[in-house]
Amino acid sequence: MAAVDISTHPGHLARRLQQAHHLLWNTMVSEEITSPQFAVLNALVAEPGLDQRTVGERVGLDRSTTAEVIGRLGRRGLLDKMRDPQDGRRFLLRLTPEGERVHRKLVVRTARMNQVFLGPLSPEEQVLFLDLIRRVTEAAEGLRNPAEPVAARS
């Protein structure tokens, strides 16, 4: 059997892209706050008072990852949970003043990191690249059906 050219495999390229992003994030943005944690902070700046489930949906995290990220941010004093007066089982989330300060600092750093990350592309290519990644991501998320076993989908 002959080897295949994995440079034509989107999953392989996506993993390598993620590795590059992770390296840049840790060196240019933060070693303490992860990219998913920043996404949660950012969602709560955009829409203060969201519940945990909605935050996860907004940033594309599964339930358990969302719970873990929110727990870590809460323990660091970056967000507060308040009971929803409409539904006592639900918690609403807001950034603390420290969470807002951290978010402001990270916004500047992520902008610089994104310039480096997308630097090999022209401005037009950057727009196209982001559009293509968004389209593939949205289509892939539409394929997800957690109730259906993987074997049944093959």
Helix axes 52-59, 63-75, angle to 10 degrees: 110
pLDDT of residue 144: 66
* pLDDT score for 141: 80
Q: Was domain 32-117 assigned CATH 3.60.21.10?
A: no
- pLDDT at position 153 is 47
Q: Where are the domains of the chain?
A: 32-117
Distance (Å, whole) CA 70 – CA 103: 14
Ranges under pLDDT 50 in the chain:
153-154
Pick from 146, 143, 150: nearest CA to 62: 146
Kindly give the interhelix angle for 35-46 and 52-59, rounded to the nearest 10 degrees: 110
> H-helix or E-strand containing 94?
strand 91-95
Q: What is the pLDDT of residue 146?
A: 52
Residue-wise pLDDT tens digits, 85-94: 888 888 899 9
Nearest of 95, 97, 99, 133 to residue 114 by alpha carbon: 133
Which whole-number Å values give the CA distances from 53 to 62, 63, 68, 98, 125, in the listed order? 9, 7, 12, 23, 34
